[in-house]
Amino acid sequence: MNDHTRQLNGRLRALKVQPPPEPWERVSTHAVNGLTEVGYAEGSDWLLVVSSQGRGLFDCLSGERTDRDYAEPASDVDWYDDVRLVAYGIGAIERQLVRLSGLHGGGLPRCTSDR
């Protein structure tokens, strides 16, 4: 770990855990082993989570994990592209391409059209 990473890690660990700002509310908490990327399915309340062990789909209104697969992301799978930062969903968003943010870069929207 380089000095910059150590310094950033220390700053993050020193932050106080707080409730989310209005109008957000915490509906659940999940541990995801090997988390690499996340992305919201466009125009929905679905969160696609990509980990070293596959994909999970979460309903952001209930907090429930509704679907899970165990296909590891790799360059030879057809559902994941770590260069374009996209992955195909599973379950309710099975055929939808989802933009990702995580270890390989990317970014998530800061607001929605209904703010």
- 47/68 Cα distance (integer angstroms): 12
What's the pLDDT tens digit per position in 79-99?
A: 999 889 999 999 999 999 999
Q: What 3-state class would DSSP assign to 59?
A: strand
Extract the tokens encoding 97: 């391409």
The CA-atom distances, in angstroms, between 92 and each of 45, 87, 89, 108 are 11, 14, 8, 20
- 90/5 Cα distance (integer angstroms): 34
pLDDT at 73: 80
The CA-atom distances, in angstroms, between 30 and each of 19, 26, 49 are 16, 11, 11
Give, as one character, the DSSP assignment of residue 111.
-
pLDDT at 44: 93
How many of the other CB atoms lie within 10 Å of CB of 35? 16
Query: Among 57, 60, 78, which Cα is nearest to 68's?
Result: 57
Give, as one character, the DSSP assignment of residue 15.
S
The pLDDT-based confidence of 10 (bands split at 50, 70, 90) is very high
For the segment(s) 28-106, the CATH number from 1.10.10, 3.40.50, 1.10.1240, 2.40.10 is: 2.40.10
The larger pLDDT score, comparing residue 115 to residue 5, is at 5
pTM of structure: 0.81
pLDDT at 4: 87
